[in-house]
Each structure stands twice: as structure tokens, then as C-alpha cells.
Amino acid sequence: MTRVAIVTGGTRGIGEAISVALHAQGRTVVANYTGNTEKAAAFTAATGIPAVRWDVGDHAATLAAVTAIAEQYGPVDIVVNNAGITRDGVLHRMSFDDWNEVMRVNLGGCFNLAKATFPGMRERGWGRIVNIGSINGQAGQYGQVNYAAAKSGIHGFTKALAQEGAKFGVTVNAIAPGYIDTDMVAAVPAPVLEKIVAKIPVGRLGQAEEIARGVVFLTSEDSGFVTGSTLSINGGQHMY
Ligand code: CAA
């Protein structure tokens, strides 16, 4: 049976690698994106994976999009909540909008996708939800009270929903990436990033594919005894 998987933020960065890896496992993958239409079209042309545009922070839009995806491809058994944004800045300069937008997209997106898919997974007796958290949600990060709070929230959300899904064959896990070589990390000012990389024991940034391999494991048919866990993939930067 081909299972249908949605990967949010699935056309770029870590999400792109996840979409490609799940597709290679024989999953029917639908990649969500919000902003970059040009990149999404190039992604679909290169991989054959369809890309669907909606804002995961928008509750009604998420419910409508998932309903349409299920009608076209079949019930959604796998969700990877990967979509995330940063609005970095120290608290005394951070606007309410910078706070709210990061919470709305990064944490609200997990709720919206779960509301759209978890009830069906529960009824069918099988499901896999993987939420992409962050080392900065585990350890905190200067200039990221919004992002760290949202990512930390994702880790709590994961453990709570895992308890609700356990009896029904639905596992819910998190991955906490460290600093991965993506556009998001490239946006960190070079001198700041240099100091961060110097503290990574493995001595380099991670690759998106190294996160995707964790997602493949956590969404596999035989990972049913793994739930409520957080897999840290961070080059040893934070051992938690
Ligand atoms: N700890 C302590 N002090 C720090 C610090 C830190 N980690 N980082 C900066 N400071 C200090 C600086 O030394 C400086 O002090 P002085 O004024 O005494 O020299 C002061 O804070 C201001 O620093 P900046 O000049 O950098 O201030 P800024 O307002 O221009 O920028 C910032 C602040 C936006 C937070 C910037 O430092 C920054 O972008 N930091 C990186 C944040 C980060 O790591 N984001 C991760 C993005 S990637 C991601 O989120 C993916 C993931 O999941 C890992």
C-alpha cells in the first residue's frame, strides 16, 4: 500500500530533503509551501513531487487543503510538520508581530495539521506524525525568544499528542535539528555563525539529508514502538 505523506515547507531546505527521502521510500508525497512559487515549481519539475501552496498558520486554509489532498491522493497517514520561520532579534527590539508570527506558523502549524489529519489516522488505526523542533527549543538561543518558545512548544505538543495516539497506532515524535546548511542558517550573520559552528563537536554544519534519514526511520512501518521521543541530530552541540 502506498501511504500518503504531507511535508510542510517541503520544497526547500530540510523539507525538500524530507520530501525526496520519503518519495524514495515509495510514499506518495505532497509538499506544502507558502511563499516561493518559483522554487516550488522547480522542485516539482526536478522530483515529480506535487507542491501545494497554503499557509500552515491559517487554520481554515489547512483544513481545506488537507481535505483536497485526501480527495485527490487518498487518506493522509504521514505528516511531517517542518514549516518554520525565524524573526530573530533581542527581546527589547522584538515586536509583538515578530513574536506572534513565529508562534502562529511554527507552533500553530503543528496544531492545524494535526487537527486536519490526526482524527483520521486514529480511526484507521495507523499514523505517523513527525514534528521538526530545534536545538534552540531545547537549549534556548540569544535573539530567539519567539523561535525558542515555539520550538520548545513543539516538543511539549509532541509528547502530549503521542499519549493520545498511542492506543490507536499513531506515533508522534520530534526531531531536534542543530545548525543545518540551509538558507535559514545562512541568514545568520557570518561572525555569529562562525562562533556557533566552533561549538559543534563534529566540526561542521549538518546536511538536510541527515535530518531526512531520521524522518524516514520515524515514519517507517516498523517504528511503532517509538513514540513521544525526540531525536537530536545536531553534531553533538547539545547532548540532551
Ligand atoms: N550570548 C551572549 N551575548 C551575545 C550573543 C550570545 N549568544 N550573541 C550576541 N551577543 C551580544 C553581542 O556580543 C553584542 O554585545 P555588545 O553590544 O556588548 O558587543 C550584543 O549581544 C548585540 O549583538 P549583535 O550585534 O549581534 O546584535 P544585533 O541586534 O545586531 O543582532 C541577533 C542580534 C539578531 C540576535 C544576532 O546576534 C543573530 O542573528 N544571532 C543569531 C541567532 C541565531 O542563532 N539564530 C538561529 C537561526 S537558524 C535556526 O533557528 C535554525 C535552528 O533551528 C537551529
CATH number at residue 60: 3.40.50.720
Grid coordinates representing 67?
A: 481535505
Task: Give the mutation target among 88, 180, 195 for probing the ligand 1 site: most ligand atoms within 8 A of CB.
Answer: 88
239 assigned to some structural domain: no
Asked if 147 is an active-site residue, the reply is yes
154 assigned to some structural domain: yes
* β-bridge pairing 170-177 and 127-132: parallel
Exactly one of 142, 147, 179, 240 is catalytic; name it. 147
Tell me, in angstroms, the distance from the centre of ligand 1 to residue 202's CA.
22
> Which pLDDT does position 113 carry in this prediction?
99
169 assigned to some structural domain: yes
Domain that holds residue 200: 4-233
What are the b/e assignments for 8-28, b being 16+ CB within 10 Å?
bbbbbbbbbbbbbbbbeeebb
Atom of ligand 1 nearest to the CA of 89: 34
The pLDDT averaged over each successive group of 10 residues in the chain (240 residues) is 95 98 98 96 98 98 98 98 98 98 98 98 98 98 98 98 98 98 95 96 98 98 97 95
